[in-house]
Structure 1
Amino acid sequence: MTAEDAALRRTARRLALQFAAVIAMIIALVGIIAYGLVSVSVAEAIDRSLSISGQDLRGDEAPADTWVITVRDGRTESSKTLPAGLPDTTALNEARSAAGPVDTTVSADGHSYAVRTRVDGDILVQVAIDQRESDEELTRLAWSLVGAGAVGVAVAALGGYLLSSRAMRPLTEALARQRRFVADASHELRTPLTLLSTRVQLLRRRINTDASPDRLHAEADAVVADTAALTSILEDLLIAADDRPAAVSAVDVAAIAGEVVTAARAEADAAGIALTLDAPESVHVAAGEAPLRRVLFSLIANALDHARSSVTVIITEEARTVRIRVADDGQGFRDGDRPFERFASNRSPGTGPAHYGLGLALVADVISRYGGSVRVVTELPGGVVEASLPRP
């Protein structure tokens, strides 16, 4: 896991927790309001039942959970057997002197009764309603709200994590590209800048010492070559750092390969390496011309760096793809090599001249951008890199 991925996950977790906390507060507020409204509704329903049942002095029509008690001339009557705790004698005594109904609550044997006591002429009427069912409904409602809230918070946390990760990934990728560009630039430009500075100092000394024109021309040519190398490096860096959608067109990879091989042949001849191209007369791929040229240059430059005596570029056509294979007769790739990661290859250079491009890391970036793939062919001797690109 890269540092960018770790930072992305930490930030996404923090945002998800914050989002979940906000959702939890909203759910809690909504739950409290819902529970309060239902509680008020239940209380109003019980109040209506007490009022209606109080009109039936005999209690014949009272529901199963309702008791109507009358007290006349000291005699207590009820249409049903009274449970423990009823009648509420304290409320009966209070009602005799009260100006209106007396509402009380009686708890006995695990039951809670809403009790209303009033005076009707010379009769004391007491109505009691068992609230256990209502209390159980409210309890179930509370637990349902808690459970639904917990599920909602968990879903919100997961959704927040996924959404924040997706939303932040472009920023993280941009930061990674920026860091990669800075690392590439500092790594790749250090050596050629040092060489260029050294050549300029030598050129100045020879001018001061009246060196021969031929030697001055040679040093000036070397400065021009180093400048061209720096320009090439900058082109590599810009291609690697470019995150814009790749412009795709039908590009003749055989023609471009011929041009690159021709340009690199002088360098190969100077190193005593035979550079050959085996390709059809014309074959097209869906890519960009400039990036594809840099890919071929990097593949050939990498092969020349490690070859002993020969480098071969082979281009073959398939039904949907075109394969570009660049092979050298060097020692090849060893187990544990990571040639397509920046600065990770452990392959020892050969006797050829050094190059300062981004190498196979650039190749992997560009090829993947155009929907292709690149791999090291370890089944063959030497160092063999094969890139595949889709046909237009």
Structure 2
Amino acid sequence: MEAAEQAIVRRTRLRIGMFVGLAIGALLLLAGGISYGLLVHSQETQIQRELRWGTEHGTIAGPPACSWIFRYDGTTVRTGTNPPPPGFPLGDALHTVAVTRTTETTTVARNGTTYHVRTEARDDGVVQAVFDARFQLSDRRHLLLAFSLAAAAGLLAAMLTGVLVGRRAVAPLAEALTRQRRFVADASHELRTPIAQVHTRAQLIARRARSDGTATNLDDLERLIGTTRRLGEIVDDLLLSARLAAAPADRRPDPPVDLTSLIRTTVAAEAERAAERQVTLTLDTPAAPLPVPGVESALRRVVGELLTNALAHTPAGGRIDVTLRSADDVAEIVIADTGKGFDQADARRIFDRFHRGAGSGDRRFGLGLALLQEVVTSHHGTIEAEGRTGWGARFTVRLPMTEATSIAGRASRIRNLRIWQLDAGTR
């Protein structure tokens, strides 16, 4: 279908754009991470260098408001002219180094910033250097913000570029799908006439053979007729699929389809065959027309195929119930039989193209149920299958009704509710 193919093309373009964008975004993040790591490493190295210089020479070259030197002679702690921040100096570190004579470095998060502290034993006592890294932290935040903005802008630009690249990359695929649809439609149309001619001539030959009494190869003729009939059905399937796949601009709007009339006609056409097979065929439809938007031939094919499938799998003495009803602005077609059924695990697989499950030897070849699903989906509907082996099968088709029918249905339900309320009030 055109809509499904366009959705696939759009998803492919989007995925290519996302992959390109993510790849470039990942490279930007990697570059940003490496740059950030190098900045942090260089800052930490510089801070430790300043602290070592401070403990050795009693001064730090950094801003006075961000560095402090404390001296401890075993009894008192001397500070410089710069007032220390709250919580400094670290008395425990001074006492520990005074006893152990080992250098101690630590990091303290306090007062909304991070302090780097180096406590080292000297000849005249213990020296403690404190460095406030607030400016370094600010540089890191600014770098992160800049990289985040650059990464976001780069990611967006990369995704847009990826979408453009994806559009160019997927264009041949879209063109190939269009050519494929045209080829299927053209080839099917060209094959339809010769297949019909072969089928007709095979029927004439078989009829003459029967009338002349020279039917020595009548079985072969019957098989030829059956084969040409199946070929014609396959061509019809392909033509229907090509019509459904046509672009909306190429499709002429069809009038609403009356499901009530369509189902009655289709069931009546199968009544004789059901009687020959000794299968009871029942029909339950509303009295009023039930119009839905769509292609009449396609919807007729859906009902006909489901009935054919039910007759093919229902033995003599069985029953097929066809029901048409409307609920919540949706027309629902239910075809249930008491035939062979199928394993519920295969409920989805039976809609695969050319799928032939167990016991399907008498089913015709072709697109079959896969085409039915395509038809229903193209009409914005759904089709479901339920079954149990040996207990029959049940197919449910739901199609959206026309807006006028939906409004009429809602008005009828409201009117019936009001009548019921009046009757209840009278009682």
TM-score (norm 1): 0.51
Answering whether residue 392 of structure 2 is matched by residue 385 of structure 1, we say no
Aligned counterpart, 2:305:
298
Answering whether residue 237 of structure 2 is matched by residue 230 of structure 1, we say no
Displacement of 1:315 after TM fit?
1.3
Aligned counterpart, 2:360:
349
State the AA in 1 paired with 2:158. Answer: A
Displacement of 1:296 after TM fit?
0.8
CA RMSD of aligned residues (A): 5.6
Answering whether residue 249 of structure 2 is matched by residue 249 of structure 1, we say no
Residues 323 and 388 in structure 1, CA contact (< 8 A), matched pair in contact too: yes
Residues 333 and 378 in structure 1, CA contact (< 8 A), matched pair in contact too: yes
Instruction: Please give the alpha-carbon distance, in whole angstroms, between the structure 2 residues aligned to 1:174 and 1:311.
Output: 45
CA deviation digits over 1:360-382, x for unaligned, max 9? 22222111221221112459951
Structure 1 residues 206 and 294: alpha-carbon distance in aligned structure 2, compared to 1, 3 A threshold: closer
In the alignment, which of 347, 350, 372 is matched to residue 339 of structure 1?
Answer: 350
Displacement of 1:172 after TM fit?
5.5
Could you tell which deviates more after superposition, 290-299 or 13-22? 13-22
Instruction: Please give the alpha-carbon distance, in whole angstroms, between the structure 1 residues aligned to 2:287 and 2:223.
Output: 36
Displacement of 1:306 after TM fit?
1.4
Residues 20 and 156 in structure 1, CA contact (< 8 A), matched pair in contact too: no
- 5 Å matches for 1:116-135? none
Residues 16 and 163 in structure 2, CA contact (< 8 A), matched pair in contact too: no
Aligned counterpart, 1:30:
none
Aligned counterpart, 1:153:
154
Answering whether residue 298 of structure 2 is matched by residue 288 of structure 1, we say no
Residues 200 and 223 in structure 1, CA contact (< 8 A), matched pair in contact too: no
Displacement of 1:165 after TM fit?
6.5
Instruction: Please give the alpha-carbon distance, in whole angstroms, between the structure 2 residues aligned to 1:163 and 1:321.
Output: 40
Instruction: Please give the alpha-carbon distance, in whole angstroms, between the structure 1 residues aligned to 2:143 and 2:363.
Output: 75
Answering whether residue 369 of structure 2 is matched by residue 360 of structure 1, we say yes
State the AA in 1 paired with 2:152. Answer: V
State the AA in 1 paired with 2:400. Answer: P
Displacement of 1:249 after TM fit?
3.2
TM-score (norm 2): 0.47
SS at the partner of 1:336?
Answer: helix
CA deviation digits over 1:238-261, x for unaligned, max 9? 222332337453211121122222
Structure 1 residues 216 and 381: alpha-carbon distance in aligned structure 2, compared to 1, 3 A threshold: same
Structure 2 stretches of 5 or more lacking a match? 1-5, 27-136, 188-193, 403-427
- 5 Å matches for 1:199-214? 212=212
Structure 1 residues 234 and 363: alpha-carbon distance in aligned structure 2, compared to 1, 3 A threshold: same
State the AA in 2 paired with 1:361. Answer: A
Instruction: Please give the alpha-carbon distance, in whole angstroms, between the structure 2 residues aligned to 1:11 and 1:299.
Output: 38
Aligned counterpart, 1:278:
284
Displacement of 1:162 after TM fit?
6.2
Answering whether residue 338 of structure 2 is matched by residue 329 of structure 1, we say yes
CA deviation digits over 1:149-192, x for unaligned, max 9? 32222233345556776898897577679879999xx9xxxxxx
Residues 330 and 383 in structure 1, CA contact (< 8 A), matched pair in contact too: yes
Instruction: Please give the alpha-carbon distance, in whole angstroms, between the structure 1 residues aligned to 2:215 and 2:287.
Output: 43
SS at the partner of 1:375?
Answer: strand
Residues 9 and 174 in structure 2, CA contact (< 8 A), matched pair in contact too: no
In the alignment, which of 245, 261, 267 is matched to residue 273 of structure 2?
Answer: 267
Residues 24 and 154 in structure 2, CA contact (< 8 A), matched pair in contact too: no
Instruction: Please give the alpha-carbon distance, in whole angstroms, between the structure 2 residues aligned to 1:166 and 1:323.
Output: 40
Residues 21 and 155 in structure 2, CA contact (< 8 A), matched pair in contact too: no
Could you tell which deviates more after superposition, 252-261 or 264-273? 264-273
Aligned counterpart, 1:313:
322
SS at the partner of 1:364?
Answer: helix
Structure 1 residues 357 and 263: alpha-carbon distance in aligned structure 2, compared to 1, 3 A threshold: farther
State the AA in 2 paired with 1:382. Answer: G
CA deviation digits over 1:258-317, x for unaligned, max 9? 222232334334433333322234432322211111111111111122112332211123
Residues 354 and 365 in structure 2, CA contact (< 8 A), matched pair in contact too: no
Instruction: Please give the alpha-carbon distance, in whole angstroms, between the structure 2 residues aligned to 1:205 and 1:224.
Output: 9
CA deviation digits over 1:183-225, x for unaligned, max 9? 9xx9xxxxxx99x999989998999x99826849978787666
Instruction: Please give the alpha-carbon distance, in whole angstroms, between the structure 1 residues aligned to 2:258 and 2:199.
Output: 40
| Higher gyration radius (CA) | 1
Displacement of 1:330 after TM fit?
1.4
Residues 203 and 216 in structure 1, CA contact (< 8 A), matched pair in contact too: no
State the AA in 1 paired with 2:380. Answer: G
**More helix, by proportion:** 2
Aligned counterpart, 2:41:
none
